[in-house]
Structure formats: structure tokens, C-alpha cells
Structure 1
Amino acid sequence: MKYLVMVLGTQADYESMRGKPSAGAPVWSEQELQAMYAHMSAINDDLSESGELVDANGLAEPARTRFVSAGADGKPVITDGPYGETKELLAGYWVLECESLDRVTEIAARVAQCPGPEGLTDYPVVIRPILEGAGEI
């Protein structure tokens, strides 16, 4: 079965990686950033080697988000990305083909062990099964 494994973050988290701290988002040192990248790369390498990796990407900061919805008049309403106080949004994801929910949970637990600076907000890693047919709803 395919699963979407998601990591969350806020605009403040992205800014803290660039040296601008805030509550729950301390500044990352270069060593901490490199440790995070190495942790995620090792996971990606292992998933690729096991054949479970379908796709994976980190996403640009929430400030570069655009929301498009239908207005009352039927015309699109376009809103640029959220501001720093916005709740967490998707920061990155994996699409995995795993034999069981237990296996993908094991992978998510490994993702959750990602190193970071002291005081960093601890977001859950979210697992969602991907529906593969219309009858699965």
C-alpha cells in the first residue's frame, strides 16, 4: 500500500534556519543544519535501496504559498502565503510503498528522531494512506 508521510513546519521554523529565532524556533547552527540534512539523506538512501521510496521532497517556506479558492461570484480568490504566526503547514513529504502500516510507522518514528537545536518545537510526523481506487473512500 502507498502512504504519504508528512513533516510539518511554520514560517518561523524556516526563518530560524536562516538565523532569525522566535519562540519554539531557535537558531540553527551550521552543524545542526548539516546533521538534519544528513539524517534525512540517510533515510532517503535507505528507502531508495529498499524499494519503498516512490517520491520525496522538502517544500519551500510557507511565505511562498499561494491559496486559490472559488469566490461567491465564481471567480478565483487568490491569497498569498501565510505569515509567521500561521499554524504549521506541510514542510516536506515522502510517498512510500510499504507492506504494512507497522512498517511505515517505523519509518515515521525514524523521521521524528531528526536532530535539531535545543528548544525546537516537536511536530508529529503524519501518516496518511493513499487511496488507490475510487471504491476505497
Structure 2
Amino acid sequence: MKYLVMVQGSQADYEAMRGNGSAQSPAWTEDEVKAMYAYMSAINDDLAETGELVDGQGLGEPAGTRHVTLGEDGKAVVTDGPYGETKELLAGYWVLDCASLERVTEIAERVIRCPQPAGAPVYPVVIRQIMEGAGDDVC
């Protein structure tokens, strides 16, 4: 079965990884950023080796986000981010092809242990099953 495994973050976290800490997220050192990337790369390498990795990407910071909605007049309304009302956004994801929910949960438990500075926010790792074959019914 395929699963979407999602990690979350905020604009403050992206700023902190550039060394600009805040009350929401302490500044990261260059070594801490390197350790985080090495840890995530090792997970990617292991998942590729087991054949479970379909895709995985980190996403750009929320400041580059764009929302497109419909206005009351039926025309598109485009708003650029970041959005103050949104605390966390999707920061990255994996699409995994795993034998069971238990296996993908083991992977998520590994992801949640990614090294970070003391005091950095800890976000849940979200797992959603991908409904295969359901795409024909969407849009």
C-alpha cells in the first residue's frame, strides 16, 4: 500500500535554520543543519534500498506559498504567503510503498527522531494512506 508521510514546519523554522532564531524556534547552527540533512538523507537512502521510496521532497519555505481560491464573484483570488493565521504548513513529504501501516509507522517514528537544537518545536509526522485507483473519481 502507498502512504503519504508528511513533516510540518513554520516560517519561523525556516528562518531558524538560517540562523535567525525567534521565540517560536531557536537558531540552528551550521552543524545542526548538516546533521539534520545527513539524518534525512540516510532515511532516504535506506528507503531507496528497501524499494519502499516512491518519492520524497522537502518543500520551499512558507514565504513562497500562494493560495488560489474562488471569490464570491466566481473569479480566482490569489494570495501570496506567508500566512499569519497558519501556524504549521507542510515542510516535506515521502510517498512510500510499504507492506503495512505498522511498517510506515516505524519509519515515521524514525523521522520524528531527527536531530534538532534544544527547544526547537517538535511537530507530529502525519501518515495518510493513498487511495490507489481513486484518482479517476477526482476532478
Query: Does TM-score exceed 0.5, indicating one fold?
Result: yes
Any gaps of 5 or more consecutive residues in structure 2?
Answer: none
Deviations 1:103-135 (A, max 9, x none): 000000000000000100010000000011238
Q: Which amino acid aligns with 1:66?
A: R
2:24 maps to which residue?
Answer: 24
For residues 81 and 133 of structure 1, the distance between their equivalents in structure 2, rounded to whole angstroms, comes to 33
The Cα shift of 1:72 comes to: 1.2
Corresponding position: 1:113 with 2:113: yes
The Cα shift of 1:74 comes to: 1.2
Q: Which amino acid aligns with 1:73?
A: D
Give matches, 1:1-137, under 5 Å. 1-83=1-83, 86-134=86-134
Deviations 1:12-32 (A, max 9, x none): 000011111112310101110
The Cα shift of 1:93 comes to: 0.2
For residues 110 and 98 of structure 2, the distance between their equivalents in structure 1, rounded to whole angstroms, comes to 15
For residues 66 and 85 of structure 1, the distance between their equivalents in structure 2, rounded to whole angstroms, comes to 14
The Cα shift of 1:86 comes to: 3.1
Q: Which amino acid aligns with 2:42?
A: A
Q: Which amino acid aligns with 1:11?
A: Q
| Structure-1-length-normalised TM-score | 0.95
For residues 114 and 125 of structure 1, the distance between their equivalents in structure 2, rounded to whole angstroms, comes to 11
SS of 1:44 mapped into structure 2: helix
Judge conservation of contact 1:66–1:81 (CA < 8 Å) in 2: yes
SS of 1:95 mapped into structure 2: strand
For residues 18 and 12 of structure 1, the distance between their equivalents in structure 2, rounded to whole angstroms, comes to 10
| Structure-2-length-normalised TM-score | 0.93
Q: Which amino acid aligns with 1:56?
A: G
Could you tell me the percent identity over the aligned residues? 71
The Cα shift of 1:82 comes to: 1.9
Deviations 1:52-107 (A, max 9, x none): 00000000000100000011111100000124663100000000000000000000
